[in-house]
């Protein structure tokens, strides 16, 4: 009897040892970074097919850009819509369209994906400059999400405007990457597409909120969360200074000029990449009070960094935030 028990124990131990070796060999962690969507993408994946997952992530982001979302890649769906003043789009793109239209509506137009013509005049990404006033007024006149209609998979546009999903593209990429990781049974992953981060899988994650007035490695606070998407929109991402004023790329659709309020950055925590990205842009334009209202309408959490060195959040974030820069004060509203 004793011998039989010893044999069973030995078999169990051998099986466990084999599992540990098996697991250790199969669950690899692989990191990679590359450029796509005009930004740096970095991925760290743990799982049995981590290497293939990283390759697939690069493909997903690059193709999403060149075949669907890019305004400049000839042949992308958005490029064709803009060129032809409407047309057919794929099922997934139609879904993004209606989700983003909802953000336009719920934000009262603070988020508007038809500002491409206005953005172009500011030339962010090349040689930014203050646009000619008349040209800006004209481009603004030819914008407005209410002039774009989606019927099934067909988009029609009642004006010559330029559709731009730039405020949500990185978040959309996170959702597509998440779908892939679920299908490939990855264990854990952290994928950053510019200022939008996917935290995927088991355990806790720590993500930093960048110091809007510091360099790219400088952080103000840490958020400790489980799996989710975290996007930050900040005026520091693309800006220039002229005559002592700072001009940045997040525009107020009412004026065509950079949104000018108390906000330096907004971080949104949401289960959806698309929403985290779109809402971070929308909440930047709306400012603290209305921004919180919008985020909460979507069940998302928001953290605002303001010009008077406050980090403003609601109590839904109090338990997961840690301030790491003593020049800033946490205010729970």
Cα distance between residue 313 and residue 325, in whole Å: 16
Query: How do 263-270 and 228-234 pair as beta strands?
Result: antiparallel
* Residue of 207, 285, 288, 317 interacting with ligand AMP (CB under 6 A): 285
Residue 167 CB, shortest distance to ligand AMP, in Å, is 3
Q: Pick the piece of the chain touching Mg ion (CB under 5 A) from 115-123, 161-169, 181-189, 255-263.
A: 161-169
Q: Is 167 in the site for Mg ion (CB under 5 A)?
A: yes
Q: Is 161 in the site for ligand AMP (CB under 6 A)?
A: no
297: region left, alpha or beta (phi > 0 left; psi from -120 to 50 alpha): alpha
* Residue of 119, 211, 267, 272 interacting with ligand AMP (CB under 6 A): 119
Q: Pick the piece of the chain touching Mg ion (CB under 5 A) from 61-69, 164-172, 199-207, 257-265.
A: 164-172
Within residues 289-318, the interface with ligand AMP by CB under 6 A covers none
Within residues 262-281, the interface with Mg ion by CB under 5 A covers 277, 280-281
* Residue of 53, 56, 77, 112 interacting with ligand AMP (CB under 6 A): 112
Q: For residues 141 and 255, is the Cβ–Cβ distance under 8 A?
A: no
Q: CA angle, corner 258, sides to 94 and 83, nearest 5?
A: 35
Q: Is 265 in the site for ligand AMP (CB under 6 A)?
A: no
Q: Is 232 in the site for Mg ion (CB under 5 A)?
A: no
Q: Is 174 in the site for ligand AMP (CB under 6 A)?
A: no
- The secondary structure of 12-52 as a DSSP string is HHHHHHHHHHHHHHHSEEEEEEEEETTEEEEEEEEETTHHH
Q: For residues 235 and 266, is the Cβ–Cβ distance under 8 A?
A: no
Number of Cβ atoms within 10 Å of the Cβ of 288: 19
* Residue of 164, 199, 291, 306 interacting with ligand AMP (CB under 6 A): 164
Residue 284 CB, shortest distance to Mg ion, in Å, is 8
Residue 231 CB, shortest distance to Mg ion, in Å, is 6
If the CB atoms of residues 37 and 50 are measured against Mg ion, the closer one turns out to be 37
Q: Is 328 in the site for ligand AMP (CB under 6 A)?
A: no
- Residue that has been written with the tokens 């952290």 in this structure: 190
329's enclosing H/E stretch is strand 329-332
* Residue of 250, 274, 303, 312 interacting with ligand AMP (CB under 6 A): 250
Q: Is 167 in the site for ligand AMP (CB under 6 A)?
A: yes
Q: For residues 267 and 231, is the Cβ–Cβ distance under 8 A?
A: yes
Cα distance between residue 146 and residue 125, in whole Å: 27
Residue burial 72-110, b: 16+ Cβ < 10 Å; e: rest: eeeebbbbebbeeebeebeeebbebbeebbebbebbebb
Q: Is 178 in the site for ligand AMP (CB under 6 A)?
A: no
Residue 83 CB, shortest distance to ligand AMP, in Å, is 18
Longest CA–CA separation in the chain, Å: 94
Residue 13 CB, shortest distance to ligand AMP, in Å, is 53
Site residues for ligand AMP per CB under 6 A: 111-113, 115, 119, 164, 166-167, 233, 237, 249-251, 253, 277, 280-281, 285
Site residues for Mg ion per CB under 5 A: 167, 233, 277, 280-281
């Amino acid at each position: 009897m004793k011998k039989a028990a010893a044999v069973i124990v030995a078999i169990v131990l051998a099986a466990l040892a084999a599992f540990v070796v098996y697991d250790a060999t199969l669950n690899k962690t692989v990191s990679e970074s590359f450029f796509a969507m005009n930004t740096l993408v970095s991925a760290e994946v743990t799982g049995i097919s981590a290497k293939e997952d990283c390759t697939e992530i690069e493909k997903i982001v690059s193709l999403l850009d060149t075949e669907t979302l890019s305004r400049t890649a000839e042949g992308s769906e958005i490029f064709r819509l803009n060129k032809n003043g409407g047309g057919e789009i794929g099922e997934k793109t139609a879904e993004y369209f209606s989700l983003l239209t909802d953000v336009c509506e719920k934000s009262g137009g603070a988020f508007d994906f038809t500002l491409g013509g206005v953005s172009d005049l500011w030339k962010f990404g090349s040689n930014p400059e203050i646009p000619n006033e008349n040209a800006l007024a004209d481009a603004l006149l030819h914008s407005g999400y209410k002039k774009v209609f989606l019927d099934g998979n067909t988009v029609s546009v009642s004006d010559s405007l330029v559709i731009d999903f730039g405020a949500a593209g990185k978040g959309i990429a996170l959702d597509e990457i998440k779908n892939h990781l679920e299908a490939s049974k990855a264990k854990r992953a952290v994928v950053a597409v510019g200022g939008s981060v996917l935290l995927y899988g088991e355990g806790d994650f720590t993500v930093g909120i960048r110091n809007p007035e510091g360099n790219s490695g400088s952080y103000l606070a840490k958020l400790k969360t489980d799996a989710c998407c975290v996007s930050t929109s900040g005026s520091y991402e693309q800006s220039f200074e002229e005559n002592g004023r700072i001009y940045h790329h997040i525009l107020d659709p009412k004026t065509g000029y950079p949104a000018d309020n108390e906000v330096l950055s907004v971080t949104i925590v949401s289960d959806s990449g698309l929403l985290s990205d779109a809402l971070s842009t929308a909440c930047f334009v709306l400012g603290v009070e209305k921004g919180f209202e919008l985020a909460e309408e979507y069940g998302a959490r928001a953290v605002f960094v303001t010009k008077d060195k406050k980090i403003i959040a609601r109590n839904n974030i109090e338990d997961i935030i840690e301030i790491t820069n003593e020049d800033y004060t946490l205010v729970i509203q």
